[in-house]
Structure 1
Amino acid sequence: MTAFSIIGYGEVGEHFAADLSKSGADAIAVFDIDSRACERAFRAHLKVADTASEAVMQADVVFVCVTAGAVLQAIEGIQYGLAHGPLVVDINSVSPDTKRGACRIVEAFGGRYVEAAVMSSVPPKGIRTPMLLGGRHAAEFLSVMERFGMDLTIFSQQIGAASAVKMCRSVFIKGLEAIALESLLAASHYDVVDPVLNSLADTIPGADWTALTQYMIERTLLHGKRRAEEMRAVSETVRQSGLEPLLSEAIAKRQDWASAGRRLLKKGASKTDLQSLLLSINHSLVRKSRPAATRSSTPSLSEKTSRASS
């Protein structure tokens, strides 16, 4: 029987734990610094450890699923529980240099480090989300997880290569989300959302641009904080290549800004159409961020609609 440990019981860690349990794993220990996350793990009938080291001491496989800025701290937190040589699978979205730093810590304390780059959104596939693997222990991890149906591809023996793919891809994916949000919020102000979407469909045919952009915007509102942190790691990756990360830094700022709209989805904004979602964001975020003079002189979409109807 394979024993598992999950460090970080956020969205990814929670999905992984649930899928492992459904696949027959019954030895899953969890650690998170957030007491609310620990409460959720306890309600899911998982073993909740008091410390990160305790969580990994009996594990054969350790999944480290924290935010980009907390990776090295999380790795340091488990280092004294690695003497028995577990596979430590770092699935976090960080720069190749950070992956290499994490690998050095894990292997210095007896663990076997596996780089994993998650290449798609974890929901809805969960543990079966496609991943690229790196490092000399990748094949061992693939063999151990064979019965769990994971979508794993060994990419390189070199630590950092798989993450370079992930980071460069994120400029594109998170950038498209930020572009969709900024473009259509401005378009909603000028009441030209439909013409913009029609032009996109004409220029790049084949996609349902209304559904696609709404999906992108909702993901940005829901995960903007985490995406912004990832994009700061992407900026570091781009900078280490010798290129100034002009776009990556701007994407991080827009994603961070969008994270304040998470509450809109909790109020049911995601159940509305794209135009209504944009209107909600305009009211809740855009108008608050405008200078007072601009707010008073430039009518919002709702104001223009109201004036037209009267």
Structure 2
Amino acid sequence: MSLEIAFIGYGEVGQLFSRQLAAKPDVRVTVYDILFDDPNRGPGLKQQALGDKVHAAGSIADTCAMPEVIISAVTADSAITAARQAAPHLKPHQTYIDLNSVSPATKRSVADQVRQGGSAFIEFAVMAPVGGVGIEVPILSGGATAEATSARLNQLGMRITPVSSEIGTASATKLCRSIVIKGMEALMVDLTLASEKAGVMPAVLASLKASYPGMDWEIVARVMTSRVKQHGVRRAAEMREASLMIAELGLDGSLAAAIAERHESFAKSSILPRAD
């Protein structure tokens, strides 16, 4: 199978996915990131692209010129901007995929942008951390052509499950899950900071283990706190999208907004997570 794929966004997901897909026979990958134009970080990113055997494009226009499939892998708060910039360069035979963790309303806004040129739109919802597994991470897809495109990408080793021909079902599933996962991560941050400062961490962990014996709470606290420190700013943007979704449903999105604030504030703080 011969296929050209482009990624808008060359961060954690863009780098991992593009590297793995470029290693497949007859797959050509192009990538673009706004940081390519940064005099400090751009050269290093372009060098990494060269090492990953992917083509570093000079602009979004160049990125969208040839590929059949264009995947947006930017931050949640940049999803609409990326689509707006790509839209004038998209053609009817192309498929634009948004895999960013954004609300159903934002996904539909992205779809409105890219469909102006007649291209197809598919939403992806990544349902687990991509680190380690990469393109084999479980993904939900939605859209009128989701089944056909998902089947084609699954031939490359991806694990995409179409869930709806409508836009919004996949992203709603993802964000509802994120309320729990990101909420637990925020809880683990405060649990760790407060119990360590009070000198009661061992007793708290023992109590939690007695109540929920199926979980190793010491590992959960350590891993989740570390994840927030590393990814908190990006995940805060995702939780703000979750808050937006909840409000659009006529419910109270203040908890998701508070989770976003906790992720961002801890990630930007000088406090370091436990190393042991």
Q: Give TM-score scaled by structure 2 length.
A: 0.92
* Counterpart residue number, 1:32: 33
> Which among 99, 102, 105 is matched to residue 94 of structure 1?
102
Q: Where in structure 2 are there 5+ consecutive unaligned residues?
A: none
8 A contact 2:10–2:73 mirrored in 1: yes
Q: Which has the higher helix share?
A: 1
8 A contact 2:124–2:170 mirrored in 1: yes
Q: 1:151 to 1:82 in 2, by over 3 A?
A: same
> Which among 32, 35, 41 is matched to residue 49 of structure 2?
41
Q: 1:103 to 1:115 in 2, by over 3 A?
A: same
* Counterpart residue number, 2:13: 12
* Counterpart residue number, 2:89: 81
Q: 1:197 to 1:153 in 2, by over 3 A?
A: same
8 A contact 1:9–1:38 mirrored in 2: no
Give 1:26 shift: 4.2
In the alignment, the residues of structure 2 paired with residue 203 and residue 263 of structure 1 have an alpha-carbon distance, to the nearest angstrom, of 29
Give 1:207 shift: 1.1
The answer to whether the aligner puts 1:118 opposite 2:119 as a matched pair is: no
* Counterpart residue number, 1:222: 230
8 A contact 2:22–2:54 mirrored in 1: no
1:33-53 deviations in whole A, cap 9, x for unaligned? 012344432443321111112
Q: Which amino acid aligns with 2:110?
A: A
Give 1:22 shift: 2.4
* Counterpart residue number, 1:209: 217
1:150-299 mapped onto 2 (5 Å cutoff)? 150-260=158-268, 264=272, 272-273=275-276
Q: Which amino acid aligns with 1:136?
A: A
In the alignment, the residues of structure 2 paired with residue 80 and residue 263 of structure 1 have an alpha-carbon distance, to the nearest angstrom, of 44
In the alignment, the residues of structure 2 paired with residue 90 and residue 262 of structure 1 have an alpha-carbon distance, to the nearest angstrom, of 33
* Counterpart residue number, 1:67: 75
In the alignment, the residues of structure 1 paired with residue 192 and residue 160 of structure 2 have an alpha-carbon distance, to the nearest angstrom, of 36
The answer to whether the aligner puts 1:137 opposite 2:145 as a matched pair is: yes
Q: Secondary structure at the match of 2:100?
A: coil
Give 1:11 shift: 0.2
The higher radius of gyration belongs to 1
Of the structure 1 ranges 219-228 and 98-107, higher mean CA displacement relative to structure 2 is found in: 98-107
Q: Where in structure 1 are there 5+ consecutive unaligned residues?
A: 274-310
1:77-121 deviations in whole A, cap 9, x for unaligned? 111221142111110000101111111221221211011100001
1:164-194 deviations in whole A, cap 9, x for unaligned? 1111111110000000110121000110001
Give RMSD over aligned pairs. Answer: 1.6
Q: 1:234 to 1:151 in 2, by over 3 A?
A: same
Q: Secondary structure at the match of 2:96?
A: strand
Query: Percentage identity across aligned positions?
Result: 35
Q: Secondary structure at the match of 2:215?
A: coil
Q: Give TM-score scaled by structure 1 length.
A: 0.83
Q: Secondary structure at the match of 1:145?
A: helix
> Which among 128, 132, 137 is matched to residue 136 of structure 2?
128
8 A contact 1:31–1:38 mirrored in 2: no
Q: Secondary structure at the match of 2:93?
A: coil
In the alignment, the residues of structure 1 paired with residue 77 and residue 46 of structure 2 have an alpha-carbon distance, to the nearest angstrom, of 20
Q: Which amino acid aligns with 1:171?
A: I
8 A contact 2:105–2:168 mirrored in 1: yes
1:219-276 deviations in whole A, cap 9, x for unaligned? 0000001011111111111111111212111101110012125895xxxx66x31xxx
Give 1:25 shift: 4.8
Give 1:204 shift: 0.9
8 A contact 1:117–1:163 mirrored in 2: yes
Give 1:156 shift: 0.8
In the alignment, the residues of structure 2 paired with residue 246 and residue 238 of structure 1 have an alpha-carbon distance, to the nearest angstrom, of 9
In the alignment, the residues of structure 2 paired with residue 117 and residue 239 of structure 1 have an alpha-carbon distance, to the nearest angstrom, of 20
8 A contact 2:19–2:53 mirrored in 1: no
Q: Which amino acid aligns with 2:162?
A: I
The answer to whether the aligner puts 1:21 opposite 2:22 as a matched pair is: yes
* Counterpart residue number, 1:307: none
